[in-house]
Structure 1
């Protein structure tokens, strides 16, 4: 402490403040040197809090300036303005086998307004599991095709990419005639004044078929390409990419997003997530994006009956699953780990599978799915489960996103206290996708007080956005999304869950950015240097 005190006393007089004087006064902030002194050796409790407040403000302020610079840089680029009032688009929407909800229509209007401008769209579409984001994406991709441009639809896993491919082709087939299926490309007649061609591109394909698809994409002979990160490989070239849709975007790193963006001349970008993100967090993590929210479920979507069970209720949970299977339904059982771990005494999927298939449900067909299986094994298991050939799927969290099995009515999550609220909500969203009443059971052996609070909240709440707010309050943003994935600098003093300070920093950043976006004024030079220190890669912020 003596060494540290000497160091602080010697070094702080030489520290110059990078915040403009009027920003300090307006926000009643301590000068930087004083804040550092009081953070290490506070004179009073009030000064300790004021020091933390100043240093936390700095982090959030600079983070917001970086995010706003990203947005400005994107908006300065020239994109392609699409025609949105074409008869083919209206016909496509009018022929859908269902009516769009008001929320879907509103989000679609936001997207159409964006893509009709020559500034490339950069929009985040949020919506609960089953809220109908995919159809909004499909109409947007069809709009690009109607304008003679290509669309790309990128998903984080092969299972999800194939599911999107099936959804898109099934939807088109319900409206138009499928004329051919050749080399993995579906061709639909009657939707446009030319055939509409839709293809799937994933890593787990024969190289010969991949080569054919690459060539077709390059020549513009595929209108909508659906796939995984295979779509952003260096050798993939689009002839005229007009719109890129990225699903479950937090699964992709910053580099992968920009790689897809670079496949066209500033294509419009639509990013989708089924993970409800509190607005404050969305403004920080995705501050360069405009935000649309599908905040209602289509009619007929039922609430899922949810119960938190104690260890002694395990057998009654198994009996309940047995009855559902006897009635012709299917069930998911989720375990946190693939293999047993000394450090984390959680149920392992492999061990659980052995027990369940041989001892608990010997009369049922039980399958195992985990992330260490290769793509072909996963696909085969999901195909069998989807076709009703398996009764119970024991899985690690690999099924968290995007799996759609309408006949599955029961979800049992083991060691549920080890998951966050948003993740538990995602698991719950795997059931309730058909017409039958669905159920979700959370088992926890010995939950901590925090674990008990989480389980209590999810048992009584179906609203994903409320759960996300609670998750942020209970766990903080680090667990919500890693800053590495989001491309944001690490926060040492600030917390994104500090909503008041975050909004204050955003307000100040917006004010400064409007008056001096390039930070050219003499009073902002020190601030520009600090931003470059925090955002070391120039491409990340300016």
Structure 2
């Protein structure tokens, strides 16, 4: 048998996807070394004064600067421009096309602080540990990948000093949409140990790749990342249990509840659409009434008392949890009554169901082989919820 351990700060989309789908185990090391500070990240268009200020600030505190210009043909021209902009600096350049001995000499001189600014290509991306270099300026950062930019940013901040990363880009109108997403993700994740979060963003931008093919990234926009992950998780679970995955079967999202009432988070209660979507996901993913109650307490604490539509949303979510245990497919209710539709193999107290139909024939009756219809007038949504919750309790099997 072969055991394999992969260590990476920023896993490629395919590797991360395999870990999240359960095909690989994953452990996250989120604790940084002691006395490290988060790297302050700035994204802006090229401004001479800003570049000059960034270089001089680092030089005056006794530090050094990486200036990344990933175009060997124009690197010498860029070095001359930088020398004119910061005449106080001692500047050298390094790239992969230089003779090995000369490249080694330059890197050793930089390590021993014999000059201040190293104009370089992405050759510094890995294997470089220079604690005295705590500012990096990356020219045309829009041309580099998300994981690559994160790795390059990690060349600074390797001591107790505050480090700075400057990503120089053209005007936003000239940058591709994916490049804008990459840069926004980088700017938002300046905290230590952000590599895993950035890899998740990278997977969403580039796609998750092929599990059996050789593509490391790929497009999954056709169905969306969340649905793709759920489909993959279902297939992996089936294979692990020795079953054949039913790829054509519909996604099981629990019972459907239609009470003809507003069950939502109003915009005037929570204006931020992203926060609303996150809360919808958390409510639908809750697995117990205790989780729902904790979530209600959190929302009251963060946003204030719950309006009626939100209270209804939580009541419906709790009703779904109870109904799912019984094998209920759908619950419908209107002002005059409603019906419960069961799955092919419901888990209910059959004796209690027959008793209800026999003793309360005016209210309950069968409507086909898998439907229970009830006739009752409801004036409020609370009456509907109370009646259906009581009916579900009655139909719940007695645990021996």
The normalised TM-score by structure 2 is 0.52
Q: CA–CA distance in 1 between the matches of 2:55 and 2:217?
A: 45
**1:436 alignment partner in structure 2:** 161
**1:355 alignment partner in structure 2:** 81
Shift of 1:410: 0.7
For the residue of structure 2 that corresponds to 1:467, the secondary structure is: helix
Counterpart selection for 1:281 from 6, 11, 16: 16
**1:121 alignment partner in structure 2:** 3
Q: Flag the 1:286–1:332 CA change in 2: closer, same or farther, 3 A.
A: farther
For the residue of structure 2 that corresponds to 1:275, the secondary structure is: coil
Shift of 1:394: 0.8
**1:378 maps to 2:260:** no
For the residue of structure 2 that corresponds to 1:331, the secondary structure is: strand
1:440-492: CA deviation from partner (whole Å, max 9, x where unpaired): 111112232624443333223222222222222233356xxxx79x9635888
**1:213 alignment partner in structure 2:** none
Q: CA–CA distance in 1 between the matches of 2:237 and 2:101?
A: 49
**Do 1:306 and 1:439's aligned partners in 2 also have CA atoms closer than 8 Å?**
yes
1:420-449: CA deviation from partner (whole Å, max 9, x where unpaired): 332222121111111211111111122326
**1:501 maps to 2:228:** yes
Q: CA–CA distance in 1 between the matches of 2:131 and 2:165?
A: 15
Q: Flag the 1:502–1:374 CA change in 2: closer, same or farther, 3 A.
A: farther
Counterpart selection for 1:488 from 180, 202, 214: 214
**Do 1:476 and 1:497's aligned partners in 2 also have CA atoms closer than 8 Å?**
no
**1:417 maps to 2:142:** yes
Q: CA–CA distance in 2 between the matches of 1:453 and 1:297?
A: 26
The normalised TM-score by structure 1 is 0.39
Shift of 1:399: 1.2
For the residue of structure 2 that corresponds to 1:380, the secondary structure is: helix
Q: CA–CA distance in 1 between the matches of 2:215 and 2:55?
A: 46
For the residue of structure 2 that corresponds to 1:290, the secondary structure is: coil
Q: Flag the 1:431–1:489 CA change in 2: closer, same or farther, 3 A.
A: closer
1:103-153: CA deviation from partner (whole Å, max 9, x where unpaired): xxxxxxxxxxxxxxxxx4212xxxxxxxxxxxxxxxxxxxxxxxxxxxxxx
For the residue of structure 1 that corresponds to 2:118, the secondary structure is: strand
Counterpart selection for 2:196 from 453, 458, 465: 465
**2:67 alignment partner in structure 1:** 333
Report 1:37-186 matches (<5 A): 77=1, 120-123=2-5
Q: CA–CA distance in 1 between the matches of 2:189 and 2:132?
A: 23
Q: CA–CA distance in 1 between the matches of 2:216 and 2:127?
A: 30
Gaps of 5+ in 2: 245-400
Counterpart selection for 1:303 from 38, 41, 55: 38
Shift of 1:303: 0.9
Q: Flag the 1:289–1:351 CA change in 2: closer, same or farther, 3 A.
A: farther
**Do 2:69 and 2:119's aligned partners in 1 also have CA atoms closer than 8 Å?**
yes
**1:322 maps to 2:56:** yes
Shift of 1:509: 4.2
1:473-522: CA deviation from partner (whole Å, max 9, x where unpaired): 233356xxxx79x96358887569734324423432453365389xxxxx
For the residue of structure 1 that corresponds to 2:159, the secondary structure is: coil
Shift of 1:411: 0.7
Give the root-mean-square deviation of aligned CA atoms: 3.5
Q: Flag the 1:391–1:499 CA change in 2: closer, same or farther, 3 A.
A: same
Counterpart selection for 1:454 from 167, 170, 182: 182
Q: Flag the 1:401–1:368 CA change in 2: closer, same or farther, 3 A.
A: same
**1:476 alignment partner in structure 2:** 207
**Greater relative contact order structure (CA < 8 Å, 6+ sep):** 1
**Do 1:458 and 1:467's aligned partners in 2 also have CA atoms closer than 8 Å?**
yes
Q: CA–CA distance in 2 between the matches of 1:491 and 1:334?
A: 26
**Do 2:43 and 2:183's aligned partners in 1 also have CA atoms closer than 8 Å?**
yes
Counterpart selection for 1:389 from 114, 122, 131: 114
Shift of 1:294: 0.9
Q: Which has the larger radius of gyration?
A: 2
For the residue of structure 1 that corresponds to 2:92, the secondary structure is: strand
1:305-324: CA deviation from partner (whole Å, max 9, x where unpaired): 1111223x332221231232
Question: How many residues in Structure 1 have an aligned counterpart in Structure 2?
Answer: 239
**1:366 maps to 2:94:** no
Report 1:170-319 matches (<5 A): 271-276=6-11, 281-283=16-18, 289-311=24-46, 313-319=47-53
For the residue of structure 2 that corresponds to 1:371, the secondary structure is: coil
**1:515 alignment partner in structure 2:** 242
Q: Flag the 1:287–1:390 CA change in 2: closer, same or farther, 3 A.
A: farther
Shift of 1:396: 1.1
**Do 1:122 and 1:288's aligned partners in 2 also have CA atoms closer than 8 Å?**
no
